[in-house]
Homo-oligomer: A and B are copies of this chain.
């Protein structure tokens, strides 16, 4: 069992931000950016729920960071720092986690500012708080307008296919597994898109459910062309591209792509982003989500995505 003091000593080796106060103080102290808003998010991940017991600990650290940074990305924010809430356990797992956390923090150039550890607790529930700064107005999930187009970044469904590979249900390429284990927050895209969108969110639970939440929060309905949902070649090879495959992609979750509403005449695809953008639907007066493809309207499954705790 790792002790708190040795765990914190290990963290101190790579914690250099002045705001972290050498991890020796009660709190982190940050001078806020002038003329920008602060964006605060806190996501938990639990063993057996958000990650599998056999997942490499370094990948779990990456995921904990990435899912939080994805929330910042959806607000067009630049990460400023994170606070870690960690449950100590076996030493080998803990040290692999810290090594992975250090790598992930370096990759995204985000400083660890502080946090807390606890030992002797049962199951692992890890938490992270991420702080970012963003230009005003900061995109809201609630801002979609009737007539807006619905867009997504990247490709959808890869992580869902990757989870099936991780579980041993399918054999498939590493790239899909990697999209499940090492999600990539769309930080650059979020910052570039923010001034152009009416609403933005990330896709964590599933395209359909996250789109329906954006519509509901905006007091609207949304129509989605399932044929327009972007699939990767690897996904199409492994799962297919027919209606069933597309419904799986649109409901499996863990994509961490951005979903956003923009005026229909905005040439959002001409922003020159590295990641492809795809227009997949539109917002309408009313409520609910309606999906269709070239064969017509689709009767949606009861579960539009991964609904935690139901």
Closest to A115 in B: B42
A308 contacts which of B44, B118, B201, B202 (Cβ < 8 Å)? B118
A24 contacts which of B32, B50, B116, B217 (Cβ < 8 Å)? B217
Docked complex Cα distance between A24 and B2 (Å): 38
Give the size category of A's interface with B: 35 or more
- Interface presence of A244 (CB below 8 A): no
Q: A120-B309, A310-B3 are in contact. Are A26 and B129 (CB under 8 A)?
A: no
Tell me how far the C-beta of A52 lies from the nearest C-beta in chain B, rounded to whole angstroms.
Answer: 14
A142 contacts which of B25, B46, B213 (Cβ < 8 Å)? B25
Q: A27-B40, A88-B309 are in contact. Are A127 and B116 (CB under 8 A)?
A: yes
A83 contacts which of B42, B46, B47 (Cβ < 8 Å)? B42
Copies of this chain: 2
Docked complex Cα distance between A1 and B43 (Å): 20
Q: Is the interface of A mostly helix, strand, loop or mixed?
A: mixed
Docked complex Cα distance between A3 and B307 (Å): 10
Tell me how far the C-beta of A295 lies from the nearest C-beta in chain B, rounded to whole angstroms.
Answer: 32
Comparing A70-78, A275-283, A296-304, the segment that makes contact with chain B is A70-78
Q: Flag if B44 contacts A38 (CB, 8 Å).
A: no
Can you name 23 A-B pairs with beta carbons within 8 Å?
A1-B309, A22-B217, A24-B141, A25-B140, A26-B75, A27-B40, A27-B41, A27-B74, A29-B37, A32-B37, A32-B38, A41-B83, A42-B114, A43-B116, A44-B116, A44-B127, A45-B118, A46-B121, A49-B121, A85-B125, A85-B127, A122-B123, A127-B127
